[in-house]
Structure 1
């Protein structure tokens, strides 16, 4: 039962993530690469973002380019969309942590 609940929550997070991508991407950009993003890829990306959230909260030295490199290692299509790391970080880390990541 617990696995079913976790699976359901993961799927809801995934749907919300994709919805936020559509709303936050610049209007002139096509986010078609994100249509092919599947749940397993999303879970890997979310795990990466959570690791970076811990780094940022611990005041470890990190940056958006560093996050982008790791993101591409986890999900190769990210290299084809120039704003992918920024969009993903903004959505999964929240505004405050995202601002700390880019500063």
Structure 2
């Protein structure tokens, strides 16, 4: 895949991510913190989430706090959003991995 096509796919993923955040957030929460999220920050979050998901698929035991801690390291402003790790994971992870990881709060 050419670098130009990859950039287009990354930007499309970024737009879809922001759209899904708006659709899935709690009605009483403002998602304005995500306004300042850059494409580079999103790509780091997406890549981390996919790696985390891959580890879980291969049998690695992990917890919500492991995911959340690393997510906050990647992009600290997300700490100010209630249930940020749950929302980001719901948007980026496959449904089965999300449900297994977050089953205690679903």
TM over 0.5: yes
Is the contact between residue 14 and residue 42 of structure 1 (CA under 8 Å) also seen in structure 2?
Answer: yes
Distance in 2, Cα, partners of 1:61 & 1:74: 21
Match of 1:2 in 2: 2
Unpaired segments ≥5 residues, structure 1: none
Distance in 2, Cα, partners of 1:65 & 1:19: 25
Q: CA deviation at 1:14?
A: 0.2
Match runs of 1:42-57 below 5 Å: 42-57=42-57
Equivalent residue pairs, number: 103
Match of 1:79 in 2: 79
Write 1 or 2 for the structure with the bigger share of helix: 1
Q: CA deviation at 1:84?
A: 0.9
Runs of 4+ in 1 over 6 A off after TM superposition: none
Match of 1:32 in 2: 32
Is the contact between residue 56 and residue 100 of structure 1 (CA under 8 Å) also seen in structure 2?
Answer: no
Higher mean C-alpha deviation, range 17-26 or range 49-58: 49-58
TM-score by length of 1: 0.95
Determine helix, strand or coil for the equivalent of 2:47.
Answer: helix
Match of 2:12 in 1: 12
Distance in 2, Cα, partners of 1:34 & 1:63: 24
